[in-house]
């Protein structure tokens, strides 16, 4: 059901009408354009959006939206016909940089936008805000979708804007899994990384931190811990498994990496579960308390325990977990 491109990049399915549209992109823009014209119930003037109607709308301003926009441009279907609705303040970008080069200390010349805008990850053209304008693509920044009506083919954004679409691509991606608020998951000094704003907040904390705790022994945890070494911080990684990256590394391979990290001052607490995060007198996180009662001091905590699909605007119409999307 879902577009292969969008599903692979965002982990989400698409509304059925849109899925068909994306699959057909590879078969030639002309065929898609004529078919879309026959079934469209809205009209958009080329290069100008003068009413609520949009021919194609992408919900979500992540990397999948950026690559989809490139495909629309390549097929001559973007100018005045495509709208991207995003919760972020910047155009789509390659997210892996956020837990790698972005977290380097200033003297190591950290990665910054526009250096990793889509599509530099695949060797393509860097799609800055100007690129979208030059190609006639409307981007609604910091205005996420709050409501969706599949029957009337309309969307409502947080600013109150009503968009009527001909074809819809749901490309909302994921959000970082969070610790519950009741155990300190939202305390000042507790960080999650999913977007540039998250990374900026973490960089600010790393510049003032002395002791950090990283929760999770996967990619996020290991990458953040490596960056913390560059800041010369007292770093402890806590995770419930027997070794890091259990879904990817064998025990012997994991041991090699763990030894490398330990040589750089990183400490590991394995087979441990978080009971709660405690705050100090200033209200900021001060320690991680484990289920066995152990206490690990920290003035900054980074949580990397996975992600979950961002589907809240579409839950009312039924998100089918088994098929990975919305059934049309």
Is pLDDT at 327 greater than 60 in this prediction?
yes
Whether residues 156 and 252 share a domain: the answer is no
Is pLDDT at 25 greater than 80 in this prediction?
no
SS3 23: helix
Whether residues 148 and 266 share a domain: the answer is no
Measured between alpha carbons, how far is 295 from 286 in angstroms, rounded to an integer? 10
Over residues 221-228, mean pLDDT:
97
Whether residues 92 and 153 share a domain: the answer is yes
Residue 201 lies in a domain: yes
Whether residues 114 and 188 share a domain: the answer is no
pLDDT of residue 275: 98
Over residues 214-236, mean pLDDT:
97
Residue 233 lies in a domain: yes
Whether residues 243 and 287 share a domain: the answer is yes
Tally the domains of the chain.
Answer: 2
pLDDT of residue 252: 97
Is pLDDT at 22 greater than 90 in this prediction?
no
Q: Note the residue count of the chain.
A: 328
pLDDT of residue 311: 82
Whether residues 182 and 146 share a domain: the answer is no
- Which of the two residues, 84 and 28, has the higher pLDDT score? 84
Whether residues 141 and 209 share a domain: the answer is no
Is pLDDT at 122 greater than 50 in this prediction?
yes
Residue 41 lies in a domain: no
Over residues 155-175, mean pLDDT:
93
We report the CATH number of the domain holding residue 261 as 3.50.50.60
Report whether 44 contacts 165 (CB < 8 A): no
Q: What is the mean pLDDT of the chain?
A: 85
Whether residues 74 and 130 share a domain: the answer is yes
Q: Express as a percent the part of the chain with pLDDT over 70.
A: 80
pLDDT of residue 31: 33
| pLDDT tens-digit readout, 36-88 | 333 343 333 333 444 578 999 999 999 999 999 999 999 999 999 999 999 99
pLDDT of residue 288: 98
pLDDT of residue 312: 81
Report whether 141 contacts 89 (CB < 8 A): yes
Residue 36 lies in a domain: no
C-alpha distances (whole Å) from 264 to each of 84, 109, 226, 295 are 43, 21, 9, 22
Residue 200 lies in a domain: yes
Whether residues 151 and 194 share a domain: the answer is no
Residue 46 lies in a domain: no
Task: Name the band, by pLDDT with cuts 50, 70 and 90, for residue 27.
Answer: very low
Whether residues 197 and 257 share a domain: the answer is yes
Whether residues 303 and 180 share a domain: the answer is yes
Residue 13 lies in a domain: no
Domain extent, residue 268, equals 176-307
SS3 215: strand
C-alpha distances (whole Å) from 184 to each of 64, 126, 246, 269, 291 are 33, 39, 26, 20, 14
| pLDDT tens-digit readout, 294-319 | 999 999 999 999 998 888 878 766 66
> C-alpha angle 17/133/118, rounded to 5°?
70
pLDDT of residue 325: 66
Whether residues 160 and 186 share a domain: the answer is no
pLDDT of residue 234: 98
Q: Residue 260: which residues within 8 A CB-CB, separation 6 or more?
A: none
80 Rama class: left (phi>0) / alpha (psi -120 to 50) / beta: left
Measured between alpha carbons, how far is 173 from 308 in angstroms, rounded to an integer? 8
């Amino acid at each position: 059901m879902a577009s292969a491109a969008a599903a692979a990049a965002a982990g989400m399915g698409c509304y059925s009408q849109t899925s068909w549209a994306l699959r057909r992109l590879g078969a030639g823009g002309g065929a898609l354009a004529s078919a879309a014209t026959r079934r469209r119930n809205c009209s958009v003037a080329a290069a100008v959006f003068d009413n609520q109607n949009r021919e194609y709308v992408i919900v979500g301003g992540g990397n999948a939206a950026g690559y989809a926009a490139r495909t629309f441009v390549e097929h001559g279907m973007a100018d005045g016909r495509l709208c991207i609705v995003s919760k972020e303040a910047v155009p789509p970008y390659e997210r892996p940089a956020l837990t790698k080069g972005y977290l380097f200390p200033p003297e190591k010349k950290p990665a910054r936008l526009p250096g990793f805008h889509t599509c530099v990850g695949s060797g393509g053209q860097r799609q800055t805000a100007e690129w979208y304008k030059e190609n006639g693509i409307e981007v609604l920044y910091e205005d996420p979708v709050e409501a969706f009506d599949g029957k009337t083919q309309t969307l409502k954004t947080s600013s109150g804007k009503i968009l009527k679409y001909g074809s819809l691509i749901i490309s909302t991606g994921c959000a970082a899994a969070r610790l519950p608020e009741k155990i300190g998951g939202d305390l000042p000094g507790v960080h999650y990384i999913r977007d540039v704003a998250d990374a900026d907040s973490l960089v600010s904390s790393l510049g003032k931190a002395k002791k950090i705790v990283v929760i999770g022994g996967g990619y996020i945890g290991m990458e953040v811990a490596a960056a913390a070494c560059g800041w010369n911080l007292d770093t402890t990684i806590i995770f419930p498994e027997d070794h890091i990256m259990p879904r990817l590394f064998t025990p012997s391979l994991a041991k090699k990496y763990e030894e490398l990290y330990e040589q750089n001052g990183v400490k590991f607490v394995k087979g441990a579960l978080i009971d709660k995060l405690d705050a100090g007198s200033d209200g900021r996180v001060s320690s991680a308390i484990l289920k066995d009662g152990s206490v690990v001091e920290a003035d900054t905590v980074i949580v990397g325990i996975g992600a979950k699909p961002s589907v809240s605007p579409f839950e009312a119409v039924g998100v089918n977990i088994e098929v990975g999307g919305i059934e049309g």
